Structure 1
Amino acid sequence: MSDEDNAATRYGTQHWPLEIHYDSDSKTLRVDFDDGRSFTYPAEFLRVHSPSAEVQGHSPDQRQTVPGRKHVGIMAVEPVGNYAVRLRFDDLHDTGIYSWAYLRKLGEQQDTLWQQYLAELENQGLSREPQRRG
């Protein structure tokens, strides 16, 4: 088994990004994978699905629904080794490390995950809009 195969097994993906591009005007991150698949993620989607403990908790029942991020953007996309990126959001959240496998999963399940998020907001009486400061 090659070093590349070992890395793919260790990080849970056989698909590696060829290009990652953030468009600040549309607030979207595009990731092109080596198998020809490409996913475009709104910054809000990535923020509310951050893999950080702050959002995911330490078990599934501790996962947080993050409201008020409709207008969030990404300030920086920073490589983490050869297996992930850290996204620094303009709401100052920066503790999520997005592995290639996690980004792939988010891309493949984006529609379902987004609908679940919208349902969670509604069920909890929360909004995508930021709270107004009084």
Structure 2
Amino acid sequence: MRLILNVIWLVLSGFWLAVGYVITGVICCLLIVTIPWGLAAFRIANYALWPFGRTVVDRPDAGAPSLLGNVIWVVVAGIWLAIGHVVTGALLCVTVIGIPLGVANFKMVPVSLMPLGKEIVPAP
């Protein structure tokens, strides 16, 4: 079932969301100072391509620097990526088949807003 959901996800929304994260990651890496945000954007792009079967957990060693970095991320790029997830999720929820995909989009909003201090792991 995960394979089917991931393939449908990739076709309907995953590819375009991943492209948004990759563009954000490239811009962040070009600016040198923002490389940590760029690496986080690339991790989430990978997750946005194939989300079913994986989950996001908090890293236990994340502290105040991650929180400060997340605040900067929200202002610079996170809000736009979160809006992309909300709009895509709402459009997918219009159809019955798209409802699980829309819910998955809504579940990705928190990680799109605060990617630092998170880790993507296989789902139990």
TM-score of the two chains, using structure 1 as the length reference: 0.25
Of Structure 1 and Structure 2, which has the larger fraction of its residues in strand?
Answer: 1
TM-score of the two chains, using structure 2 as the length reference: 0.26
